[in-house]
Chain A
């Protein structure tokens, strides 16, 4: 056999899957989502009404935004259990700085009504700093992210309780509440989710930082030899995720109108689930923003759909769990080495 035919057979060997199968494999999660939407729209025609669709998107936006940060973390082969606690702490700080003058129990009675930019910056700052601490602990002590962020979970929750003395912070300014409102027909949380997704997508796909994140998750030793500064990048990854939690906290506060110290408990698990369903591999090096969005929407459609169908909330949880497992099984088949 000549050199050329040898090369050709080797290439044929590598590309042996048909195009269609490849497409199905690549987009299997998206196909699941489309399938779910079709079924729902047959069973409950009002599912497809714009107001319900926006509803699904709005409901998905909080853990959706969190899952953007978690996508970076999980691609880097990390995990962040503190996401929900960080949402609570940054949310409570932001809320305390965003109370309206009429609030019955005002956190800072002497400050009056602050412009909305103050709580916004506060949420981003608190989330970012706590994320930075997460990243620094992981990078410089080399303890597993699971442990580091498990510790941070209770630390942040503890500070939240201390800060509020266990009481909710409510009666936010109308500017603050606008974060949970609408511009025309478009819900602001959905708009924010979209913008954050775009930023994260650019970061992952069009910056050197993004390339480093994939390399660190794919093979940290190879990345190190290639001159990638592992520590610096880990700190950045967790800090960026922290900022995303801050954004999620603002949406939370804006929608609910108050933040109580137990807020967002367990949200990290939903956000991790969304990221995972979207095909981000816990083995590292694999994952996309598009996948994370689809994962969040699958959960959103599922919750909304099951509610429309009158399925009991308890059963919804069971179904959600099954979906997570099935999604990962499907995904592992996709990534399986041939």
Chain B
């Protein structure tokens, strides 16, 4: 039998928590020098498997072989020492310390009298950064770096530990397309050096671009491992969700009515300038562009979270002056924010309290008291109708999966019966099944004669759902395109990167 030398073999791993089997006999085999995609919906067991691998907790049964040797009873520190490094989705650098201090934290090079050898630390860091072609000084503070650069620093840190296996958990969730390219370049270089990479992502295009082989998990079970060349998107989705998704983007044609919101020459200092567009009833209006192109700032300004420095907004033909989110809500707008954790969910509060917070005025009863029974019945209705998985409406929202949290946030706004629903990255970090449901919801919203303004970095999503697409670049509108059949991703990208600029009519 031809022996393949795997750098990592996880054999028949099970993990049980009280009352639940999170992993049921999962196998994962990684070859040296390969990029191995690990995919599955949220709750499929990817992170549990990676936590077992990282020594965060031990598996209930099954064996882990690293470099051909059985490894067990190890902690995270041991994992790093034998050559396993993980780059987490949520980076947590020590923000007000420098790059070099972050990389060498806890193992700073020393000189006489146990003092830290800053010079050596600087040079070693410089070497690492050069290797990754990262153009920053080792003594730059982390807080000055973009998320992409912070991630590169994390990779540098992994290399500094001489990692043989690097796990990347959703590494591109906050990166621009250009930064993603840079990341991929680095991944290829690591690969050439013989390092193995486990690449966890919800973005299937990336999986197909960068991975050599893919392992799929579903509901804690091992579904299979395939070479990329034997795989296409429908097959992969079917493996992940266990059923066919005929149409990922269930956008139905619906009647486009009169202009609902008209934005003229809207500007906000340096963030964006002279943005003009309108959105009609029944329309899904996509806003594409790179991170930093001013998209999020634009919708924040529309919603009163940010001051405008010029321009006007009219809704139903009447000029509105929106200075606070309160004003926006009164003008029948809603905003599902980009960052669920930063300004979306209120973690320690219940599903119910999270859902009703934008709509409290509706539940007023006599003596200024709060109408609990009405609120409760509204919440129950949404939990049922859009299938939010939660043991009860009193469950703290932080215990729900990302997709279910997002559904609660969308419900929060649907409860206010908005006419204009703005959704900033509505499906970021949620699994394929929940994505499809959110797309369907968007379709339902516009069918009721409302409109949706959707900011998204995922081009397939923008192209799959939008009626028209506005592309932004460097704070300006570079094009507003009809989403016809012959529109290509390349075309949008060329506008987004500023290679083409259309004169605005």
Contact status A7-B389, CB under 8 Å: yes
Contact status B391-A15, CB under 8 Å: yes
Measured in the bound complex, the distance between the Cα atoms of B395 and A335 in whole Å is 13
Whether a CB of chain A sits under 8 angstroms from the CB of B253 is no
Whether a CB of chain A sits under 8 angstroms from the CB of B363 is yes
Contact status B399-A227, CB under 8 Å: no
Interface centre among A7, A16, A212 (most CB of B within 10 A): A16
Instruction: Give chain A residues whose Cβ lies under 8 Å from the Cβ of B346.
Output: 214-215, 218-219, 222-223, 285
Contact pick for B353, options A211, A284, A338, CB 8 Å: A211
Stretch at the interface among A43-51, A90-98, A109-117, A202-210: A202-210
Measured in the bound complex, the distance between the Cα atoms of B341 and A337 in whole Å is 15
Query: For window 2-50 of chain B, which residues contact chain A by CB distance below 8 Å?
Result: 17-20, 43
Q: How far is the CB of B368 from chain A (nearest CB, A)?
A: 6
Contact status A215-B19, CB under 8 Å: no
Instruction: Give chain B residues whose Cβ lies under 8 Å from the Cβ of A227.
Output: 324-326, 328-329, 358
Whether a CB of chain B sits under 8 angstroms from the CB of A183 is no
Contact status B372-A206, CB under 8 Å: yes
Contact status B348-A6, CB under 8 Å: no
**Given known contacts A16-B18, A218-B347, A226 and B358 CB-to-CB distance under 8 angstroms:** yes
Contact status A206-B370, CB under 8 Å: yes
A contacts with B: majority SS = helix
Query: For window 352-396 of chain B, which residues contact chain A by CB distance below 8 Å?
Result: 353, 356-358, 360-361, 363-364, 368-370, 372, 389-391, 395
Instruction: Give chain B residues whose Cβ lies under 8 Å from the Cβ of A228.
Output: 357
Contact status B389-A222, CB under 8 Å: no
What mask results when residues 192 to 234 of chain A are scored 1 for a CB within 8 Å of chain B, else 0? 0000000000100111101110110011011111111100000
Instruction: Give chain A residues whose Cβ lies under 8 Å from the Cβ of B17.
Output: 13, 16
Whether a CB of chain B sits under 8 angstroms from the CB of A12 is yes
Contact status A10-B389, CB under 8 Å: yes
Measured in the bound complex, the distance between the Cα atoms of B342 and A13 in whole Å is 26
Instruction: Give chain A residues whose Cβ lies under 8 Å from the Cβ of B20.
Output: 9, 12-13, 16
Contact status B343-A285, CB under 8 Å: no
Q: How far is the CB of B412 from chain A (nearest CB, A)?
A: 7
Report the count of interface residues on A (CB-CB < 8 A): 40
Report the count of interface residues on B (CB-CB < 8 A): 46
Contact pick for A1, options B219, B326, B398, CB 8 Å: B219
Instruction: Give chain A residues whose Cβ lies under 8 Å from the Cβ of B53.
Output: none
Instruction: Give chain A residues whose Cβ lies under 8 Å from the Cβ of B43.
Output: 10
Q: How far is the CB of A282 from chain B (nearest CB, A)?
A: 12
Measured in the bound complex, the distance between the Cα atoms of B389 and A11 in whole Å is 7
Contact pick for B369, options A206, A219, A226, A338, CB 8 Å: A206
In the complex, the chain B residue whose C-beta lies closest to that of A337 is B398
Contact status B18-A335, CB under 8 Å: no
Contact status B395-A285, CB under 8 Å: no
Instruction: Give chain B residues whose Cβ lies under 8 Å from the Cβ of A210.
Output: 370
Query: For window 16-66 of chain A, which residues contact chain B by CB distance below 8 Å?
Result: 16
Q: How far is the CB of A281 from chain B (nearest CB, A)?
A: 7
**Given known contacts A13-B20, A15-B391, A223 and B357 CB-to-CB distance under 8 angstroms:** yes
Q: How far is the CB of A203 from chain B (nearest CB, A)?
A: 10
Q: How far is the CB of A189 from chain B (nearest CB, A)?
A: 27
Measured in the bound complex, the distance between the Cα atoms of B360 and A9 in whole Å is 33
Q: How far is the CB of A220 from chain B (nearest CB, A)?
A: 9
Q: How far is the CB of B419 from chain A (nearest CB, A)?
A: 15
Contact status A225-B370, CB under 8 Å: no
Whether a CB of chain A sits under 8 angstroms from the CB of B349 is yes
What mask results when residues 234 to 248 of chain B are scored 1 for a CB within 8 Å of chain A, else 0? 000000001000000
What mask results when residues 320 to 338 of chain A are scored 1 for a CB within 8 Å of chain B, else 0? 0000000000000001011
**Given known contacts A16-B18, A225-B335, A226-B412, A207 and B368 CB-to-CB distance under 8 angstroms:** yes
What mask results when residues 221 to 260 of chain A are scored 1 for a CB within 8 Å of chain B, else 0? 1111111110000000000000000000000000000000
Instruction: Give chain B residues whose Cβ lies under 8 Å from the Cβ of A225.
Output: 303, 305, 325, 335, 337, 343-344, 358
Contact status A1-B242, CB under 8 Å: yes
Q: How far is the CB of A164 from chain B (nearest CB, A)?
A: 39
Q: How far is the CB of B203 from chain A (nearest CB, A)?
A: 23
Whether a CB of chain A sits under 8 angstroms from the CB of B345 is yes
Using A11-B389, A218-B349 as known contacts, list a sample of 10 further A-B pairs with CB atoms less than 8 Å apart, ordered by residue number in A. Answer: A11-B391, A14-B400, A208-B364, A211-B357, A211-B370, A214-B349, A219-B347, A223-B357, A225-B305, A285-B349
In order of increasing CB-CB distance, the 8 nearest A-B pairs are: A221-B343, A218-B346, A226-B358, A285-B348, A16-B19, A208-B360, A219-B346, A227-B329
User: Mind listing 13 A-B residue pairs with CB under 8 Å?
Assistant: A1-B242, A9-B20, A11-B389, A218-B346, A218-B348, A219-B347, A224-B325, A225-B305, A227-B324, A227-B328, A227-B329, A285-B349, A337-B398
Interface set of A (CB-CB < 8 Å, partner B) = 1, 6-7, 9-16, 202, 205-208, 210-212, 214-215, 218-219, 221-229, 281, 283-286, 335, 337-338
Interface set of B (CB-CB < 8 Å, partner A) = 17-20, 43, 218-219, 242, 303, 305, 324-326, 328-329, 335, 337, 342-349, 353, 356-358, 360-361, 363-364, 368-370, 372, 389-391, 395, 398-401, 412
